[in-house]
Amino acid sequence: MTGVWVLLGVLVLGGAAGALLQARNGRVRAAKFSASTLPGRVSDALAPDGVTLIQISTTFCAPCRHTRAILSALAEKTDGLTHVDLDVTDTPEVAQALSVLRTPTTLALTPDGREVFRVGGVPRGQELLEALKPHLTNA
């Protein structure tokens, strides 16, 4: 009988952990670092004006393809918004310097390298656009 209770407890805890992770996926979160800690690959990719969405990806990341499609389309139709996809498969130190623990992770950066916000997982397009509006020149 004890085994049944243990199994039931594991299932409940696993379901709660899964629900928590699902709720956090794609949510816009506050910035984590300052401009002084940007790796060279990231600072070289910043656009001279507007906001740059830096997508941190890896080669075999399936959700990264979906994120790339969302961010590319959003950047094409939004003035002052640029999308850059950085594959960190061979340079994990870039992800480590940015405190990125999963792919895809999207960082919204100003031209001076200040992080505005970040999104872990596949971003929700409309929520992302709403978070970007105060930081775009032609919002």
Mean per-residue pLDDT, 50-79: 93
Tell me what percent of the chain is helix, strand and coil, each rounded to the nearest 5: 45, 20, 35
136 has a pLDDT exceeding 90: no
Angular region, 84: left φ>0, alpha ψ -120 to 50, beta rest:
beta
- Which residues on adjacent β-strands are paired with residue 28? 119
Rounded CA-CA distance 65/61 in Å is: 7
32 has a pLDDT exceeding 70: no
